[in-house]
Every structure is written in structure tokens, then in C-alpha cells.
Amino acid sequence: MLDCQVQFLEDAITAYAKTGQVPHPLGTRHPSIAPFQAFKARDAFIIIAAANDHLYRLMSKAMQRPDLASDARFATNALRNKNVDALETAMEESLAAKTVAEWIMIFEQAGVPAAPINNIAQIAADPQVKIRNMVVSVKDPIAGEISVAGNPIKVYGATENLNYAPPPELDQQRAENLAFLEQRHHG
């Protein structure tokens, strides 16, 4: 898990290594790409990731906001980053007109990366999450059948083992673990 979390910090690690500056929290914003964050639509938040000038122009067209594409403050990614607050305000004015589901359909047709922000119930019911076995059942002798997060590491061509053992009881493997540690210490 630690490895996965550190990998998510790829931009922050690179920026820190390059500048020596500790990045500050940005909320949902990307540190160097705009627009690439959560935006408020009529009913909820939507993530829009117009990660280059081409996608930004497609997004502006899909939103029926040619003024966003022609505005000098937003002409390049560097300028959009510099003026990200103004861009967010302008986008949310338009996004408020439709629901997240409506915007998702519009952006999908336009080829603009966008996604809803799902709650846990939506994630657990998501067909892709189910197909990838990312929520699995474990039979626990005390709690009964429980749902837990699946293994995110998938190996192409390998059959995934879906027979998860329940967690051990308190001190159930204590003697084995202490013997293993003792052997490692003296071995």
C-alpha cells in the first residue's frame, strides 16, 4: 500500500526534487495541468481532465463556451495554471446548467476525459470494479461473510486467486511469528 501511495505522489516528488520546495495542498487540482480537477455541476462534482491544449479546446466546444478557448488568459496550459481560479469560476458557471450524468455524456461524445466522483456504494456496484475483483468476499468465522478490497495487482495471463483467508484471531499465529522473527534474528 505504501508503494501505491508514493506512486500517486509522482508529480510532487519530481517537483520537490527539481525545486527543493515542498508542494502545498491543492485540493483536487493538478499541480501543473489546468483544467484537471473536480468542478461543481448542477447536482454533484465532476472531474474534468483537459490535460493539453487540444483537449482544452474540445472541452470548451463541448461546453458551448468558445470564449474559454479564445480567452488570452487561458491560451496555454501555463496561462491556465496562472489563472486557474478565474478558469474554475468560468467553467462552473456553465457546468451548473446540467447534471454530472448529462456532462459525462457530452464529454464522452467530445472525447474529453471526465468522470463522476462516486461514493462507496457506487464504487462497489461499478461493473469495472466487479470485473476486476476489487471488492471480494471473505468468510470470517465470527463476522460471517464480509466484503473487502481485492488485490490491485493483476498479472496478465495468471489466474487470480479469489479464495481469501479470513484474518487470524488475536494471537492465533503468535508462536509461529515469534519463531520466524527469532530465526531471522539469529539466522
**Other C-beta atoms lying within 10 Å of the C-beta of residue 60:** 24
Instruction: Let me know: does 154 contact 160? Beta carbons within 8 Å.
Output: yes
Candidate list 24, 30, 54, 185, residue with the active-site label: 30
Contacts of 42 (CB under 8 A, 6+ apart): 95, 96, 97, 98, 99, 100
Helices (H), 37-119: 53-62, 66-70, 77-82, 84-95, 100-110
Q: Is 185 annotated as catalytic?
A: no
Closest CA to 42 of 103, 89, 128, 108: 103
Closest CA to 46 of 90, 134, 107: 107
Give the residue numbers marked as catalytic: 30
